[in-house]
Amino acid sequence: VIGRGSYAKVLLVRFKKTDRIYAMKVVKKELVNDDEDIDWVQTEKHVFEQASNHPFLVG
C-alpha cells in the first residue's frame, strides 16, 4: 500500500505481461453510498477522462 484516503487506497502493482510497475487506485465501493459520494466518484472519473492522453495516467 502506497497511500490511503477516505474512499480509496493506492497500491503498487506490477503488470505481468510487461513487468512494468504502476500505482493503482482502488475505491472502497461500500463507502460510496450517498449522492455526495457518487458525485465525487463521477467528478474523479471525468478528470481522468479529460487527462486520458497524459503519459502518467493509464486506464
Binding site for ATP: what residues are annotated? 29
Residue 24 and residue 33: Cα distance in Å, rounded?
22
Q: Which residues are annotated as a binding site?
A: 29
Residue written as grid cell 478528470: 47
